[in-house]
Each structure stands twice: as structure tokens, then as C-alpha cells.
Amino acid sequence: MNHEEGIFTGHNGLKITASTIGPKTGFPVLLAHGGGQTRHAWTKVLDELGNAGYRATAIDMRGHGASEWASDGAYDMRDFARDLVAVSKQLDSPPALVGASLGGIAGMIAAGLLAPSSISSLTLVDIAPKMEAAGVSRVVGFMQAHMKDGFSSPDEAARIIAEYMPQREKRQGTGKLDRYLRKRDDGRYYWHWDPNFIHHVTRTRDNASDAQDDGFSRLSEAAGKLKQPVHLIRGGSSDMVSEEAVAHFQTLVPRAVFTDIADAGHMVVGDRNDAFCSAIISFLNSTHNRGDAT
């Protein structure tokens, strides 16, 4: 099956680029990636969902990939959540939302606080209201490290990624990282996302001593209001979502299905793609009629 490329309209008219696969009558599934990623992180997942009969759409979140950058610097989590609501309303029916990290945070806010009726179910990929500070710092630190000077070549970027994720098979820089890098006029390569996104994340964290508590409270409130079927997937070796965080989430959403994927870190989709696809399709099959989007 070929991926269909298209454009959705996000919040305040911002253009959101997407890839879609699967039968037009299939139940819609919307996939939202993590911070610093693009829709291409879901390529294998899209194929598996399409083969299973779902109409699956992966988007580039605002400021990422081929989607528009927010000229006003609007990168609050509610801005990402509003985009998910806007895109969901352009699908044939409320989709099953699968959100990894950033996409999951936005999904909780969208499904719990902003527009519950726009999301039919929610799968959270290694994200919960209670996040480990050390894991968050590691991710943010990696994203900050090469924003200013970029890389001399895709191969250098591949080496840096390999150092960040030593357990993952090393990518070949040429041809494999083109979707994640932009070559600028200075001849150097930079990540394929708006630097203002991470500036906003760090500014919010650094300027407000209680920012972490505020985020925890907001996400806990959102999780507690979820009425849809919910699936929490954790990487068994995650440094972002601990077993304590899972237990806390289960007190907020006691009916939630939980899957722990062994030998996977925070980047569950890339670490154990086969196990991940099996888990989400099993949940979706038990929750939705995949052949009927009406």
C-alpha cells in the first residue's frame, strides 16, 4: 500500500502535513509523534495498521517535519492539543489517537480537557502525568545540544544519535536521515524542527519554579477526565515513565489497559516496533470495529 500525502488545517489555520494509508472505509487512527520527531517515525506502524484494515494517518506536529512553523511561537502543549482536535474533526469520524511523548501529552489534553468527543480512544506511548525529571532532562538536553551549530553532515548526525541511543541499530546518515534534517545556506545540517519549540519548553521550565508541578497537575486533571478507552504503553527500560508513574496513572484511569514492552526505552516504537504494533492493534481490535468508520 502506498502512503497518501496530504495537508490538514490545524489550530488557527496552521498547515499540518500528513501521511495516510489503509482502506477509506477503515476505522480512523491518528498518530502523533514525540518532540523532535516527524511523521516518518510511524512508517512501519502505518503499514501494519493499513494491512490490519485501519485508515491510519500520521501527522507532523506543528513546527516539525514538513508542517508549518508557528510564526507566533505558539508551542504550548495546548497548542499541540488544539491541532489534534482540529485534525480529528477533519477525519470521517472521531479517530483512535496514538500519541508518543509530546503527542501523548497533547492527546491527554485534547481527549480529557478540550474536546473529548473528538477522540474515540487514546493510546499513550511512554508518557504519563508523572514523568521522571532525569529522563525529561536527558531528552531536552539532546535536543538542545546541536541547535545552534548543527552538523557537518548527515553521517555526523547519525553518529550523535548512535551515542544518544547506543542500544539502537546505527542509522546510515546519507539517505536515511534526510527526513529529519534541513541543509541551510551555510552548508550545515540542522534538525527538521523549529528551534522556538525547544526554546519554549526550556523557557517555561526555567522561568517558573513550579512549572513541573503545574504540568503534573494539568495532565493529572486531563487523565482523570478521560472517558474514552485508554491504553498506556511503557518501555520496560524507560527512564521517562517509572513503575510508580504507571501506578499513579492507574489510580487516575483505573480501567486503562496497560502494556509493558521489555527491552524498550522511551523510544518504544523504534526499539521494539513489532511488539509495539502487536500491542496497539490488539487494543484497537478489541475496542473498535476496524472496518467501519461510520
Residue whose C-alpha is closest to residue 189's, from 157, 145, 142, 158: 157
**Domain extent listing, the chain:** 4-133+214-287
Contact 46, 31 (CB under 8 A): yes
Instruction: Compute the distance between CA of residue 14 and CA of residue 7 in angstroms, rounded to an integer.
Output: 10
pLDDT given for residue 42 in this prediction: 97
The CATH T-level fold of domain 4-133+214-287 is Rossmann fold (3.40.50)
Residue 279: HSE in the Cβ half-sphere, 13 Å Cα cutoff:
23
3-state class (DSSP) for residue 223: helix
**Low-confidence residues in the chain, pLDDT < 70:** 166-176, 204-214, 289-294
- CA gyration radius, the chain: 18
Total-model pTM: 0.91
> How would DSSP label each residue in 61-97?
PTTBTTSPP-TT---SHHHHHHHHHHHHTTSSSPPEE
